[in-house]
Chain A
Amino acid sequence: MSDQVGPAAPAEHHPDPAVVRKTAMWAFLGSEVLFFGSLITTFLLYRSRIGEGPGPADLFDIPFTSVSSFVLLMSSLTMVLAHHSAMRRDSRQMRVWLLATALLGLIFLAGQVYEFTEFVHQGLSIGTSPFASSFYLLTGLHGVHVAVGVLMLLATAFMSFGGRLRADGGMNVEMVGLYWHFVDIVWIVIFTVVYLLQV
C-alpha cells in the first residue's frame, strides 16, 4: 500500500473528547444490538411453544401496551429537547427536560411492572413455558436497560443541579441521549415483533 514516504495525513494531536466518547458509545451500542438480537431470536424460536399455559393471544392487551410504548417514544422527544437546551447552554430548561424524560421512563417501567403482575395472575410465570421464559427475559432485560437509563438521566440532572456539569455538559447529555434513543428503538422492535406480529 502506501510504503512510499509521503506527507503525513492530518490527524488531531488532542482528539476531540466528544468524538472519542461518541465512537465508544456507538461501539457499545453495536454490542447491544447483538445482545437484544439474541434475546429476540430466542423469543422467535419459542413464541409458539406455550405448552399448557396462556399464549400471546390470551395475554397481550394491545391498547395498554400501545399507550406505554407511546410514553416511551415521547421520552425520546423530551430527550432531544434536553439535548437541544444543553447545546444552547440553558441548564434550567435542560434539567426540566431531563427530569421529564426520566419521569416518562419511570411511567413506562410502572406499566411493565403492572403488565408482569397481570400476566402472573393469568397464569404465566417464568417457568410456565419456553414462551414465558423468553418473554420475561427479553422484556425484563429491556426494562433493566430503561432503569439504567433513568439512573443516568437522574445522575446527569443531579450533577447539573450541583453545578458539577461543566461547560462540556452538553456532551454528557448527548451520551445519555444516544443510549436512551437506542433503548427506545429496541422497544419499537420488541413491541412490533412480540406484541403486534402474532401470526
Chain B
Amino acid sequence: MTAVETAPHRSGIWGWVTTTDHKKIGIMYGVTAILFFLVGGIEALLIRTQLAVPDGGVLSADAYNQMFTMHATTMVFLVVMPLAAAFANYLLPLQLGARDVAFPRLNALSYWVFLFGGIFLTMSFFVGGSPDGGWFGYAPLSTQVGEVVRMDYWALGLNFLGVGSIMSSVNFIATVFTMRAPGMTLMRMPVFSWMIFVISFLLLFSLPMVAVGLFQVYADRRMGSVFFDAASGGDPVLWQHLFWLFGHPEVYVLILPAMGMVSEVLPTFARKPLFGRSFVIFSGIAIGFMGFGVWAHHMFTTGLGPVAEAAFALTTMLIAVPTGVKIFNWLGTIWGGSLRLNTPMLFSLGFIALFVVGGLSGVTHAVAPADTQQHDTYYVVAHFHYVLFGGAMFGIFAGIYYWFPKVTGRLLGERLGKWNFWTMFVGMNLTFAPMHMLGLNGMPRRTYRYPEGLGFDLWNLVATVGSFVLALGVLLFLINAWRGWRRGETAGPDPWDGRTLEWTIPSPPPVHNFDEIPVVHAEDDFWHRKYGVDEEGHAVALGYEAPATSPPADMHLPSPSYYPILTAAGMFLTVTGLVYPPWGLLLTGAGAVVTLWGLFGWSMEPLTRGSGS
C-alpha cells in the first residue's frame, strides 16, 4: 500500500464528520442504515410478540399504532433506501472508473440530511409519541389535529428526508452522465450502476409529488387550510393520488438496486456473462417508466370507477412483464454455469426464489375484484414482505457479502454466512408465508389484537416464532460482520474473480480510487482482461497480472468540509421548529440562518485539494 489512507476506520472522528470521500460517506450510510434496521426490527418483534396469541397484552392499541407506522417508515426510508444509497455511493464511482461522484460536498449533505432526518423521526418517540397514522398517512386521519404532534413529525420528517434523496439523485445522474471513464459507454455500464441511474430518475420525479401532498397535510394540520377536509369541500382522495404517485415508483426504488446487485453477483459466481444483459437493463428502464402508470392499484377500494380500475389492472399486469424478463435472465445466467455456492450466491438465489413468490402474489392484486377482497388484509402484508424482505433485503445481503471484502479488505466468514443465510431464509418464510393464509381467511392489517376462535391462532403463532428465527439470522450477520471486520481473512483486490472495475483496485481502495483512470474496451471489461475464449467457447485464463502503478502526481480530490453537516443541522432546527408553532418558529428562524450560513460558506469554499490546485 502507498502512503495514502487505506484504513478508513482508523481516522479520527473529525475526519468522518468533514469527509467528502464517497467511500467514507457510503460506509456511514451503511452503518447508520444497519442501526436503523435494528430499530425497525425491534419494532417488528414487538408487533409480532403482541400478535403471537389472541388478545395479546404486550402493547396498547396506541403503542401498536405507533409501532406499525414507525416500523414501515423506518424500514422504507431509513433502511432500504439508505442501504441502496450506501452501495450507490461506494460503488458508482468505482464501477464507472471515476475519482468521486460529481458533487462530493452535496453527497455529504445528502448523508447528513438522512442522519438528521432519521433522528428527527425517531426522537418523536420521546416527545409525546411517534407517528401513528400509518406509513401512507391517509388523510383525513393524518390531518386531524390533536394536541399531539405525531403526524407533524411524520409529514415534516418525510419531506426532510426527501430533500436528501433528491440531492442524491441529482448527484448520481450528473455522475453517470459526465464522470464515466473513457470507453465506458452507457451500455457498458455495470447493471448495478444502471439500476441506480434508473432509481435516481424515479426519485427525482416522484418525490416532488409526495412533497406537495406532505405540505398540504402539514398546512391542514397547522395552518388551517382545508385540502383534505371533506366538510369544507376538500377531497381526501387527492392525498391518495399524490401519495401513491410517489409510493408506487418508490416500490421500484426499493427493489431495483437489489436487482442490480443480484445481476452483479450471479454472473460472477456462475462464471458466465449476465444472460441477455441489455434486456436486463432495458427491463429496468421499462419498469422505471411503467412504475409511474400503476399507482391507482393501491386504490382499488377507493371507488375510482370501473374504467379507471380496469386500466390500472391492465398496467399492473403489464409491469409484471419486464420483471418476469429479469427473472428468466437470471435463470438463464445460472443455466449451465459453473456455480460456486458462496454466501453472496446463496442470498442471490434466495432472492430469486422469494421474489418470485412475492411477484406472483403481487400479480394477483392486479385482479381488481380479487384485490377488493385482499385489500388491507394480511395477504397484502405477506406480499410486500416477500418482495421487500425476501426481495430487496436478500439482494442487499447478497451485496453486503459480495462487496464487504472490497470495503474492508477482509472476507466475511463463509460458515457463519451460510448459517446466516439459512436462518434468515427459514425465518423469513416462517414469518411471512402464514400471512397469506391469515389474509385470505380475513385477518385485517393494523388491528392490535384478534379474538380467539377465528382461525387466526395457529398461523399467528407460527409467524411470531418465525420472526424470532429471522432475528437470530440478523444477529448471526452482526456477529459475522464484527468478526469479519476485526479479523476476517484478507481478501486481496479480487477475491471473487470479479468482472467489473472495482475489482481491479486494492481492497480497501485508496482514497483516489484509481492510480490511472481506466480505459474501458468492453462490457465486463475486467473479465476480458483476465480471460480469453478458446475455439469451443470456454474461458481461458490469460495470466492477468495487475499492472504496477503509482498514484498520479496531480490528483484533484475534494477537500474536507464541515459546511454540509452545518447546513443539515440548520435544516434539522428548521423542521423541528415547525412542529411547535408559534414559539417553535423562533427555532425555525435560527435554523434558517444556520442553513444559509452553511450554504454561503459552502459557495465561498474552494473545491479541491491536492498538488494540482
Question: Which of A's residues lie within 8 Å of B, judged by CB?
Answer: 1-16, 19-21, 23-24, 27-28, 30-32, 34-35, 37-39, 42, 45-46, 49, 51, 125-127, 129-130, 132-134, 136-137, 141, 151, 155, 159, 164
Q: Which residues of B contact A24 (CB under 8 A)?
A: 102-103, 170-171, 173-174
Of B449-457, B514-522, B573-581, the one touching chain A: B514-522
Contact A133 B219 (CB under 8 A): yes
Residue of A nearest to B203 (CB): A31
Residue of B173, B519, B521 touching A23 (CB-CB under 8 A): B173
Q: A119 CA to B553 CA in the complex, in Å?
A: 64
Q: Which residues of B contact A30 (CB under 8 A)?
A: 204-205
Residue of A nearest to B175 (CB): A20
Number of A-B contacts (CB under 8 A): 150
Contact B102 A20 (CB under 8 A): yes
Residue of B170, B179, B224 touching A127 (CB-CB under 8 A): B224
Contact B182 A11 (CB under 8 A): yes
Q: How far is the CB of B240 from chain A (nearest CB, A)?
A: 13
Q: How far is the CB of B497 from chain A (nearest CB, A)?
A: 19
Contact A31 B212 (CB under 8 A): no
Contact B225 A136 (CB under 8 A): yes
Interface assignment of B61: CB less than 8 Å from any CB of chain A: no
Contact B528 A5 (CB under 8 A): yes
A selection of 21 A-B contacts at a CB cut-off of 8 Å is A3-B273, A5-B521, A5-B528, A20-B179, A24-B170, A24-B171, A24-B174, A27-B173, A27-B174, A31-B208, A34-B206, A34-B209, A38-B208, A38-B213, A127-B225, A130-B233, A132-B225, A133-B220, A137-B227, A159-B603, A164-B604
Given A20-B174, A51-B233, A133-B226 contact (CB < 8 Å): yes
Interface assignment of B596: CB less than 8 Å from any CB of chain A: yes
Question: Which of B's residues lie within 8 Å of A, judged by CB?
Answer: 102-103, 166, 169-171, 173-174, 177-185, 187-188, 204-209, 211-213, 215-216, 219-220, 223-227, 232-235, 238, 242, 245, 273, 277-278, 517, 519-523, 528, 556, 596, 600, 603-604
Q: Which residues of A contact B273 (CB under 8 A)?
A: 3
Residue of A nearest to B245 (CB): A38
Q: Which residues of A contact B517 (CB under 8 A)?
A: 13
Residue of B178, B185, B206, B208 touching A20 (CB-CB under 8 A): B178
Q: Which residues of A contact B174 (CB under 8 A)?
A: 20-21, 23-24, 27
Q: How far is the CB of A111 from chain B (nearest CB, A)?
A: 22
Contact B225 A8 (CB under 8 A): no
Q: Which residues of A contact B179 (CB under 8 A)?
A: 15, 20
Q: Which residues of B contact A6 (CB under 8 A)?
A: 521-522
Residue of B233, B234, B238, B600 touching A155 (CB-CB under 8 A): B600
Contact B522 A4 (CB under 8 A): yes
Top 6 closest A-B pairs, CB basis?
A8-B183, A35-B208, A133-B225, A38-B212, A127-B224, A24-B174
